[in-house]
Amino acid sequence: MPWLKKFLYDDINSDRRLHIAAVSMRCDRSVEVNRGKMAEQVNAIIAQHPEVDLIFFGEVVSGWYDPAGRPDLHRQTAETIPGPTTNTMCDLARKHQISICFGMSESRGGNLFNVQVLVSPEGELQVIHRKHHLKESLYSPGSAPVSLTDIKGIRTALLICSDASSLDSMRALRKLRPELILLSLADDEDEHFFMAQCNARMYDAWIVTANRFGDEDGHYWNGHMVVSDPLGDLRIAVEGCERVIVYDLGFAPPRKGLKRMLRRLITGTPLLVDIMKNWKQLKQYF
């Protein structure tokens, strides 16, 4: 029922907009090579899409990702913040007057952290989100399950991969009510993009993911990425190659009264049905 969806979430006619580019990147073992590739991607995206406000890279794109099997490699590619990679991204953000969000390994106080950094259009470090819900012992956990910030007036939450399956993160997201969730991934499977739709409906928010692609010493990453609207409709869903996706997100006015109740009903019912149909996949996710 298109008319009902337009009533519940009219993003087309909204004047609150965020033009985003998400990147599925083939990563190298070398942090220097990846830093250069990220810079090339930023420049190329802006050359082709000068309207872009935010460029979004996946989890730990500063190197290969295998914290359990190759901890030495993660220690070699870890950097301080500020450091070479954050300095490069800050310079690019300032040059192009955009926000840039990217994942890396951070060395701090003798510990390693899996971090997602958001740089502002002024070239400042706006957010450093340290992964909170860890499935490996190499990294130390961050202090917050979710990092909430503002991008062009849009309430935006930053999470890293398995953060999304943490009960602490779920409670925080329900309480904070972000309009946009940036979920960075080092992930190789989301069958039928079920979890992306599930998260969008659960939090009544846009979901945008960024990932990695390619073979890394025998581990193949399929590069799946999505843009899902708050009603759980996939606007973009791709996998199978290194690529950039670009989308113009529109944000409806604040949710109040009857419309808010209807949206909860319309999104909650199919969410419950999906959970019942896909409970085995959901169980693996947690």
Do 143 and 91 touch, CB atoms closer than 8 A? no
- State the CATH number of the domain containing residue 240: 3.60.110.10
Per-residue model confidence (pLDDT) at position 88: 98
Residues in the chain: 286
5 domain residue, yes or no: no
Cis before residue 82, ω within 30 degrees of 0? yes
Do 203 and 196 touch, CB atoms closer than 8 A? no
A 10 A CB-CB count for 241 gives: 11
20 domain residue, yes or no: yes
Residue 273 has pLDDT above 70, yes or no: no
Tell me phi and psi for residue 49, to 5 degrees. -135, 75
Q: Are strands 225-228 and 243-250 parallel, antiparallel or unpaired?
A: unpaired
Per-residue model confidence (pLDDT) at position 199: 78
2 domain residue, yes or no: no
A 10 A CB-CB count for 160 gives: 27
158 forms bridges with which residues in the sheet?
147, 182
The total of structural domains in the chain comes to 1
Do 249 and 180 touch, CB atoms closer than 8 A? yes
Do 157 and 147 touch, CB atoms closer than 8 A? yes
198 domain residue, yes or no: yes
Give residue 251's domain range: 13-285
**Euclidean distance between CA atoms 148 and 163, whole angstroms:** 14
Amino acid at 3: W
28 domain residue, yes or no: yes
3-state helix, strand, coil in the chain (%, to 5): 35, 30, 35
157 domain residue, yes or no: yes
- pTM for the complete prediction? 0.89
For 14-56, the pLDDT digits (tens) are: 789 999 999 999 999 999 999 999 999 999 999 999 999 999 9
For 67-125, the pLDDT digits (tens) are: 988 999 999 999 999 999 999 999 999 999 999 999 999 999 999 999 999 999 999 99
Sign of the C-alpha dihedral, residues 48, 36, 188, 218?
A: positive
